[in-house]
Amino acid sequence: MSPLRRFPRIFSVGPELLKPNSLAKVPTADLFTKLGFFTHPKPGLVHWLPLGTSVLDKLTSIIHRHMRNSGAEEVRMSALSPAALWQQTGRWTGTELFKLHDSSGSEYCLAATCEEDITAVAAAQIASYKSLPLLYYQINTKFRDEKRPRAGLLRGREFIMKDAYSFDVSPEAAMESYEEMVAAYHRVFSELRVPYVKAEASTGDIGGSLSHEWQYVHPSGEDTLFRCTGCDAVLNVEKTLSFPAEDPANGKAGGPVSVEYFVTDDKNTLVCAYFLSDRTLLPNLLQDEVPEIDLKCGLTQDQILALFSGEDALLSKNVIRVMDLRLHSRSNFPDFPIKFVSRALITTLTDIPIVEAVHGEICGQCSEGVLESSRAIEVGHTFYLGEKYSKPLQCTVSVPGNDGTLETVNAFMGCYGIGVSRLIAAIGEINRDLMGFRWPACIAPWSATVINASTDFSKSERVVSELHDAGVDVRCDDREGLGLGRKIKETKLVGIPLVVIVGKNFPIVEVEIRGKKYNDLWKSLFAQDSEGWEVEYLEDGTSDIKHKVHIERLGSVVASLLKDM
């Protein structure tokens, strides 16, 4: 038997996986391991097994194709990254780095992301503006000491990431590279046929000034997104400005008020943020009012207040009080913990939105639409970085100035991630139904399962070779001692898009559709630069359609069915 025909092993299909009610209770991460896609020797670690490897190979080849088509060149960076680079960018103290040292004591981390290393490589390579633009990408394992690894591949301590990095001579050229990558992301995510959104996001630890997250809206997600019904903006909660739906004077403004303390970079100004106790402060919104605020000073509330204790300190230091716009003069403020010397040193800013939005509030961007919230799974992130890494790592480029002489400027960068292994977990979770997984055909472990309902194996051999000749990735389940019904259930459980049943009507065979069929609306929506929020209408959900097909036409029928799945 040729290896192409062998049926990859499916492990421990216990009775609980064969009945819809009990299958529904099996968490997706467990379903993956029970069926043998991968196993986790410890939470956050993964051994990829044949079924999982097959999905991973197909997914990575889609990403490779779109990266290359957008002009990106493939690199493979070392998994060990020298500490010195991270010290130069100030990220060596990052709590998610796995750190280690060699026998001579030199320190490294396992690559958690690659801005430092790739910028050092580019710095050595780029001679003049003529070498730019430069766009590198790789697909490999990244390591992060996640405190709470979750749901198998969704949050691993090792995970597979596609990361790309662009280097340009100016901010304008860097934005062009950014937009090209955004277009490539639309192509990748629309090919995967799982509805996605592109949301404005904060730049977090990676830094830079502009970023978008690529998200799958789903209740199991860890992120909160808002969409405005007026201006259609889609925003991560960290970027969502909101106004109360009703005048604070009529609302709960009289309720208890909480305060959190911050300090500026120079440690000379105490920033006190006041907000209603039943809301969550969004510290990065304070940055718009107090740009020099240090949101990562690492000090506790008591340590911050201690900087402003003695009277001497208060003679030279300032206090800025920022009041959330939901507060009111009748609100129930906590006592000010410091005995201040002069009121002149205190500035009070009122009517500033500084808390996380909640569903139903008014959009802070257009001031008209209502904010609708949803949970979402982040599967990609694109950042405009500017000079954030090129400056400390001296990645410079010489460009002709106005008078024709060469001047040296820092390269302008962007970085672009896709969580490849997380995508597999997310698509598995989002697409599963009462029968099991349901893969988009482009990443299914294989496209069709041929099942023989008679004892004459020559017929199924003929079917397999017809499909093989038509370029269909097919497996034949000719295991003995297992009934037809059980084999059909298993291939549906694994999520294979088509089942081809070879029975007594041969040369007519039956093709049963398991995969989701997508209609033309999907294609037209994603051909544009759509933000893709309207997800419900995109899929016709047919799974029980059966086609009777003559063997002579089987290859072309199956190939055309798969195109829509």
Q: H-helix or E-strand containing 407?
A: strand 406-410
Q: Should residue 444 be labelled a site residue for ligand ATP when binding is judged by CB under 6 A?
A: no
Q: Identify which of residues 417 and 445 has a Cβ nearer to ligand ATP in the complex.
A: 417
Could you give the string, one character per residue 196-215, with x where binding to ligand ATP holds by CB under 6 A and - elsewhere?
--------x-x---------
Q: DSSP labels for 77-120?
A: --SEEEHHHHHHHT-TT-TT--EEE-TT--EEEE-S--HHHHHH
> Which residue from 155, 388, 459, 475 is in contact with ligand ATP, where contact means CB under 6 A?
155
Q: Should residue 159 be labelled a site residue for ligand ATP when binding is judged by CB under 6 A?
A: yes
- Determine the Cα–Cα distance for residues 23 and 435; give it in Å rounded to an integer: 8
Number of residues that bind ligand ATP (CB under 6 A): 17
Q: Least CB distance from residue 256 to ligand ATP, whole Å? A: 31
- Determine the Cα–Cα distance for residues 549 and 555; give it in Å rounded to an integer: 10
Q: Should residue 380 be labelled a site residue for ligand ATP when binding is judged by CB under 6 A?
A: yes
Q: Least CB distance from residue 357 to ligand ATP, whole Å? A: 18
CA distances from 469 to 186, 295, 463, 548, 558 (A): 32, 61, 10, 20, 12
Neighbours of 167 (CB within 10 A): 28
Closest listed residue to residue 474, CA positions, set 61, 2, 1, 5: 5
> Which residue from 91, 239, 326, 381 is in contact with ligand ATP, where contact means CB under 6 A?
381
* C-beta separation of 408 from 104 below 8 A: no
Phi, psi angles (nearest 5°) of residue 279? -115, 170
According to DSSP, residue 1 is labeled -
Q: Should residue 113 be labelled a site residue for ligand ATP when binding is judged by CB under 6 A?
A: yes
Segment near ligand ATP (CB under 6 A); pick from 71-79, 80-88, 131-139, 414-422? 414-422
Helices (H) and strands (E) in the chain, counts: 14, 27
SS3 at position 462 = helix
Q: Should residue 161 be labelled a site residue for ligand ATP when binding is judged by CB under 6 A?
A: yes
Segment near ligand ATP (CB under 6 A); pick from 297-305, 346-354, 419-427, 470-478? 419-427
Q: Identify which of residues 210 and 341 has a Cβ nearer to ligand ATP in the complex.
A: 210
Segment near ligand ATP (CB under 6 A); pick from 49-57, 69-77, 114-122, 152-160? 152-160
Q: Least CB distance from residue 540 to ligand ATP, whole Å? A: 29
Q: Should residue 239 be labelled a site residue for ligand ATP when binding is judged by CB under 6 A?
A: no
- Determine the Cα–Cα distance for residues 451 and 446; give it in Å rounded to an integer: 14
* Residue of closest CB approach to ligand ATP: 419
> Which residue from 378, 466, 478, 490 is in contact with ligand ATP, where contact means CB under 6 A?
378
Segment near ligand ATP (CB under 6 A); pick from 73-81, 83-91, 180-188, 372-380? 372-380
Q: Nearest 10 degrees: CA dihedral of 10, 14, 20, 22? A: -130
Q: Identify which of residues 353 and 417 has a Cβ nearer to ligand ATP in the complex.
A: 417
Q: Identify which of residues 70 and 421 has a Cβ nearer to ligand ATP in the complex.
A: 421
Q: Identify which of residues 379 and 513 has a Cβ nearer to ligand ATP in the complex.
A: 379
Compute the Cα dihedral for 429, 431, 437, 441 and give only its sign: negative
Closest listed residue to residue 446, CA positions, set 414, 464, 471, 472: 472
Contacting residues toward ligand ATP, per CB under 6 A: 113, 144, 146, 155-156, 159, 161, 204, 206, 378-381, 417, 419, 421-422
